[in-house]
Amino acid sequence: MPTKRLQAARLQVVDALRGAALLGILVVHCNRWFTADALPKQLYDFHAAGPLNALVIGKVELLFVDKFYTLFSFLFGLSFALMISRSHEAPAVFYRRFLRRLCILGAIGLLHYLHWRGDILLIYAALGVLLLLFNRVSNRVVLLFGLLLALNLPVNLVRIYHGWAAPPTQSERQHRLALLARNAVTNYRTLVHGSYSDNFLANAHSFGNALNFQFGSGRIYQTLGAFLIGLYAGRRRIFQYATEKQALFRRFAFFAVLVLVGTKALALLLTRTYGPELQASDAVRAIFRTVYDLRNVATTAFYIAGLTLLFQYWPGRWAVAPLSLVGRMALTNYLLQTLVGSLLFFGYGLGLQGTSQLWVASLLSLPIFMLQVGLSAYWLQHFSYGPVEWAWRSLTLGKMQPMRVRPVLS
């Protein structure tokens, strides 16, 4: 196979991984009626009770939650490494252009956040600046910081320390739970009964709470960690030579499985020693959380290695084309998911959030994604970029870019 065809095939694998990440993200969002915040307990009592709902919730939590956002973030860091490796510009020129690219992404993210407060694009734009700084350090430093942050170790260690040294009083716990319950009721009423403008204004006023969540939970650090691991993988050119590095991906997958078995054993040991997580002290809960963060990173690593291998053999090759179509238009399709999800689940749309069983809401992710596959296939037959990708590229370069696919001359 000529070199150009080899490079195209390898890029298609990365696009397919990006499409798989969008599918996983969509499943999680539908499994939560497309809300980014907590919902009242009564809603789950009515619409998420029973064995079928419990099965779906358990499987989505185990296989999807926090895994595919991590994969999406990994691919953002990987894409940065691929971009800088292909650039023929002077570093200063590339950095300025990349900063413009991030500013535009941040503007798109801000508009998206005002429509749906689960947005990640604004966070990506802010953290992307740090990629320029980490690009100046060695691979070893990049990998070390990436792992420490992806595992959320700084936040978890602080939680463990405060849990032992200064645990909250019973009244403080009750006050915190009451506040969360009130916020959940307010959020639910806005989503189900509020107009479009009500939701827009509520999202604008929730920005501070979103920042508190990002830093308090450590999610923002984990996102940066995934960026850095992706940057490391891009520097090592792992995906450019995926076919030749199958043995390496097999070792990654095997090691990830060993870690998953270890985290399962640790979780059982903690449960037998201290009881269920919800009944444990704050310090022990932080230890549980550390184990879960390790499990999530290992699961994501298994998906990256396993899917990359699967895509190279006939059982998985059939999935590469549709997934890569969605992945080539990742930004457009990410925003499209929000549009469709809000119209399906929110009160200014069909209002399924207050009426549908959770397992039904979860299954809706499949026809939505198939719609995205069909739309992406049709669009890319005629155009080189997704519509949002084209606008992003044109604004970054400061001039309108060619959009239509040029006919191939024989």
pLDDT in tens, 365-384: 999 999 999 999 999 999 99
- pLDDT for residue 408: 56
CA separation for the pair 398, 19 (Å, rounded): 28
Tally Cβ neighbours within 10 Å of residue 393.
17
Decide if pLDDT at 10 tops 70: no
Q: Please say whether the beta carbons of 393 and 386 come within 8 A.
A: no
Tally Cβ neighbours within 10 Å of residue 399.
7
337: phi then psi, degrees, rounded to nearest 5:
-60, -40
- pLDDT for residue 21: 98
Q: Please say whether the beta carbons of 128 and 105 come within 8 A.
A: yes
CA separation for the pair 26, 368 (Å, rounded): 9
pTM over 0.85: yes
3-state class of 2 per DSSP?
A: coil
Q: Please say whether the beta carbons of 289 and 159 come within 8 A.
A: yes
Q: Please say whether the beta carbons of 353 and 346 come within 8 A.
A: yes
Enter the DSSP assignment of 195: -
**The Cα angle at residue 14 between residues 336 and 315, in degrees rounded to 5:** 100
* Summary mean pLDDT of the chain: 92
**The Cα angle at residue 212 between residues 208 and 215, in degrees rounded to 5:** 135
Decide if pLDDT at 8 tops 60: no
Average pLDDT estimate for 40-57: 87
Q: In the chain, what is the straight-line distance between the N-terminal and C-terminal CA atoms, in Å? A: 20
Decide if pLDDT at 56 tops 70: yes
Decide if pLDDT at 193 tops 50: yes
CA separation for the pair 198, 182 (Å, rounded): 18
Element (H, E) at 67: none
Percent of the chain with pLDDT over 70: 97
- pLDDT for residue 409: 53
How do residues 229-279 score in pLDDT, each as one tens digit? 999 999 999 998 888 889 999 999 999 999 999 999 999 999 999 989 888
Confidence of residue 30 (pLDDT cuts 50, 70, 90): very high
Average pLDDT estimate for 334-346: 97
Structure tokens at 385: 């970029």
The torsion defined by the Cα of 56, 344, 112 and 200, in degrees rounded to 10, comes to -120
Structure tokens at 145: 């910081």
Decide if pLDDT at 6 tops 50: no
CB-neighbour burial class of residue 400 (10 A; exposed 0-12, middle 13-18, buried 19+):
exposed
Q: Which of 284, 149, 285 is nearest to 229 (CA)?
A: 149
Longest dimension (CA), the chain: 77
